[in-house]
């Protein structure tokens, strides 16, 4: 098994998720909006975050995959699309990690084309230095320079998702 180094503890995650929930609740005031969690990576983060949001929300999930082998390969497609109506809605997309930003760009375009009234992104982890597109998440849990992270929903070939803390996986 690969070595891993603890980088974000469960306690830090709980504290930050509470802050994000409070900030989001303030920004949307009492407006209804639709939370869209990205499977599988953001399942835990989404579940924790929505419990800190004090607004009327709807919740749905999507799943995207890239055609290539690479985690950040070019062409993306939905392997599970949204089932609730998008048209005219304020949408908050909840993502685990933003790396190149290509997934975020694909989703922003896709939801805009389908008539979303507004689209914002809440990401647990931003690998800002690796960004390849001109798009910045609206809410960021933690900024990290790089490296491969696992735990709290994040996997490496489907391993480590269940861990309550976040680790840096050593090569
Ligand atoms: P992007 O399109 O390059 O921004 O890639 C974002 C996606 O790559 C995320 O949704 C994750 O699924 C995956 N990813 C990027 N970095 C990591 C990581 O460190 N651990 C686990 N998954 C990652
Ligand atoms: Mg993901």
Work out whether strand 166-169 and strand 4-8 pair parallel, antiparallel, or are unpaired.
antiparallel
Q: How far is the CA of 106 from the centre of ligand 2 (A)?
A: 13
Listed by start position, the domains of the chain span: 4-24+31-64+76-169
- Chain position carrying tokens 């694909």: 106
Instruction: Determine the pLDDT at residue 110.
Output: 96
* Residue range 15-34, pLDDT digits in tens: 999 999 999 999 999 789 99
Q: What is the arithmetic mean of pLDDT over 62-90?
A: 85
Q: Which residues surround ligand 2, an ion (CB under 5 A)?
A: 41, 96
What CATH code would you report for 4-24+31-64+76-169? 3.40.50.2020
Atom number in ligand 1 closest to CA 99: 4
* Residue range 28-56, pLDDT digits in tens: 997 899 999 999 999 999 999 999 999 99
Give the DSSP H or E segment for 142: strand 139-143
Helix residue ranges per DSSP H, the chain: 10-28, 43-50, 102-113
Q: Could you tell me the pTM of the whole model?
A: 0.95
Ligand 1: list residues with CB < 6 Å.
Answer: 41, 71-72, 95-103, 148-149, 154
């Amino acid at each position: 098994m690969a070595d891993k180094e603890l980088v974000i503890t469960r306690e830090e995650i709980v504290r930050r998720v509470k802050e994000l929930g409070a900030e989001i609740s303030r920004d949307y005031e009492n407006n209804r909006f639709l939370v869209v969690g990205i499977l599988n990576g953001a399942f835990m983060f989404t579940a924790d975050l929505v419990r800190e949001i004090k607004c009327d929300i709807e919740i749905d999930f999507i799943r995207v995959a890239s055609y290539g082998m690479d985690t950040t390969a070019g062409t993306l497609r939905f392997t599970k699309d949204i089932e609730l109506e998008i048209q005219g809605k304020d949408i908050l997309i909840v993502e685990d990690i933003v790396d190149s930003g290509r997934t975020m760009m694909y989703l922003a375009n896709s939801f805009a084309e389908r008539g979303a009234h507004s689209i914002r992104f809440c990401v647990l982890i931003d690998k800002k230095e690796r960004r390849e597109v001109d798009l910045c998440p609206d809410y960021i849990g933690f900024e990290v320079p790089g490296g491969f992270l696992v735990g709290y929903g994040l996997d490496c070939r489907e391993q480590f998702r269940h861990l309550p803390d976040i680790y840096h996986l050593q090569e």
